[in-house]
A and B are shown apart, each in its own frame.
Chain A
Amino acid sequence: MSLARKFIIAGATVVVIAGVLLAATTLHGLAYQDTGNGGTTAVDAALDLPPAKTEPCLHCHIEGENTSLWTPLARWLVFGALGLVSAFGIYQSASVWTRRKPFEPLTARAAGWVDERYQISEPLSKILKKPVPKFALHWWYCLGGITAFLFVVQGITGIMLAFYYKPTAAEAYASIQFIENEVLYGAAIRAIHHWAANGMIVMCVAHMLRVFIMGAYQKPRELNWVSGVLLLLLTLVFGFTGYLLPWDQRAYWATTVGTDIAGTFPAIGDLVLVMLRVGWDVSEATLGRFYALHIIVTPLLTVAFMLVHFMMIRRLGVKKPL
C-alpha cells in the first residue's frame, strides 16, 4: 500500500473520530449543565428520569473544571491522538498478513540464522550424506564405535564422581565411602564407571583384533592403526591410574607393584619410577599425579587421538573385505 493512501486513510479516520468526539463532548456538556433544579439535568428532564445524585458530573469534581466545553474537548483530543497512534499500530501489524513471507517454522529460521553466519550447512550435508558401504553394516564393524561411546559414558560418570572425590591420602578413601553410601545413586554411578571401564578395554581389544584379522591396517591405513594402538595404551593408562584412586590396600599395593615393574627398565628405570611415584614410594603425591593424569592429561590425549582416528576413517573409508 502506498504512503499517500495510508495518509488518506489516517486523515479520514482522524476526521471521523474527531467528529464523533466533538458530538460526544457536546452532548456531555449539555447533559451535565446545571439546570438549577436540584441536580436534575436537561437530559434527565427530557427523558423524565428521577433526579440524579447531588454530584452530577464526576469529571467536574476536579477543581477549576467547569462545565466549559473546551476542557473535556482538550482531554478527548490528547487521548484520542494516543488512541489514533495505537490504532495505526494495530493497522500496521495487521497489514503484515498481506505482505509477509511464506510461513517458516521457528526452528528453520534459527537454523537459517546460524547458517548465514557460520555457512555450515553445505559441508555438514556433505559429511552427513557420505555413503557408507553396505559391507560395513555387520556387527563387528561396531566395536570401535562402542568403544568410543563407552568413553563418553566414562566421561559423564567420571565427572559425576569427580564432584565428590577428594584426591588426598587422608580423604580419598572416605570420599569413596561417601559416594557409595551417601550420594544419591552414587553406588550406581561408581558401578557404571567401574564396569564400563572394563567393557571399554574389552571392546578396544576386540576392535583391534577385528582390524588385525581383516588386515585393515595395511597401506594406506598404517597411521590409523598406530593411533588406534596409542588409544589402547591410553585406555590402559586410564585403568592403571584409576585403580589407585580409591586408596585402599588393593589400589596401593597394585600401584606399588606396577610402578616397580616400570622401574625395572634398564637405564631409565629409576627415572620412570620416580616420575610415576613422585618420590621413591607411593604416597599422597602419587595419588595427586595419578588423579591429574586420570582426569586431565589422558582424557585430552584420548580425545585428540580419537579425532585423528575418526577423521582418517572418514578420508580413507572402510577397507573392503577380501
Chain B
Amino acid sequence: MTTPNPEQEKDSVPFYPDHVRTEFYVVIGIVVLAFIIGVLGMMFPVGLQDPADPLNTPLHVKPEWYFLALYQLLKYVPPTVIGIEGPVLGVVVILLAVLALVFWPFLDRKSDSKKATWIRLGLSLFILVLFIALTIWGEVS
C-alpha cells in the first residue's frame, strides 16, 4: 500500500489530494444547491396544513411520495385473494420483497457477466418505471 508500483500509478489516483478534491467539488455543489433551496424556501416556505384534528378525517389521505407507490399497490389489492385477506397478503408480500432485497447477494451467486448486467439494467428500469407510474397514479387519484 505504501510502496506504489508503476502499474498502480497508471490506473489509479491517490485518495488525497486527487480524489478528495473531486469529492470536495461535489460537496461545494450540494452546498450551493442547499443555499439556493434556502433562498427559494424563504420565498416559498414548506408550509403547514391545518392543525391535526383526530376527530376530522380528511377526504384524501396520502403518504409522502416515496411511500405512495406502495400505498397505491396496497389500495388495489382485492379484499380476499385465495381465502387470505388482501391487505394482509399485501404487507406480507412487501415484507418478503424487502427481505429478498436485503439478502439479494446471497440469492444471486452466479459469477457476473455482461449479459447479466444488461438483464439487471432492464429489470431496474422496469421497476423504476413501475414505481414512477404507481406514484403518479397515486398522486392524481
- Among the listed A219, A222, A249, A265, which residue makes an inter-chain contact with B92, where contact means beta carbons less than 8 Å apart? A265
- Whether A126 contacts B105 by the Cβ 8 Å rule is no
Chain A positions 215 through 232: 1 when the CB is less than 8 Å from some CB of chain B, otherwise 0: 101110110011001100
User: A194 at the A/B interface (Cβ < 8 Å)?
Assistant: yes
- Whether A153 contacts B58 by the Cβ 8 Å rule is no
User: B141 at the A/B interface (Cβ < 8 Å)?
Assistant: no
- Whether A222 contacts B106 by the Cβ 8 Å rule is yes
Category for how many chain B residues contact A: 35 or more
Task: Tell me which residues from 57 to 114 in chain B have a Cβ below 8 Å from any Cβ of chain A.
Answer: 57-58, 61-67, 71, 74, 85, 87-88, 90-92, 95, 98, 101-106, 108-109, 111-114
Tell me if A's interface is mostly helix, strand, loop or mixed.
helix
Count residues of chain A with CB under 8 A from any CB of chain B: 74
Tell me if B's interface is mostly helix, strand, loop or mixed.
helix
- Among the listed A217, A226, A252, which residue makes an inter-chain contact with B54, where contact means beta carbons less than 8 Å apart? A252
Task: Tell me which residues from 121 to 138 in chain B have a Cβ below 8 Å from any Cβ of chain A.
Answer: 121, 124, 128
User: A77 at the A/B interface (Cβ < 8 Å)?
Assistant: no
Docked complex Cα distance between A146 and B13 (Å): 20
Chain A CB count within 10 A is highest, among B37, B40, B128, for B37
Determine the chain A residues whose CB is within 8 A of the CB of B47 once the complex forms: 180
- Of the stretches A55-63, A92-100, A131-139, A295-303, the one at the interface is A131-139
Name A209's closest neighbour in chain B (CB-CB): B124
User: A84 at the A/B interface (Cβ < 8 Å)?
Assistant: no
Can you name 26 A-B pairs with beta carbons within 8 Å? Answer: A128-B14, A131-B14, A133-B11, A137-B22, A145-B26, A149-B27, A180-B46, A190-B41, A190-B46, A191-B41, A192-B37, A213-B124, A217-B104, A219-B105, A226-B102, A239-B67, A248-B48, A249-B58, A251-B52, A254-B64, A262-B91, A264-B85, A265-B88, A265-B92, A265-B95, A283-B54
Given contacts A190-B41, A250-B62, 5 further A-B contacts (CB under 8 A): A177-B48, A188-B37, A191-B40, A192-B41, A248-B49
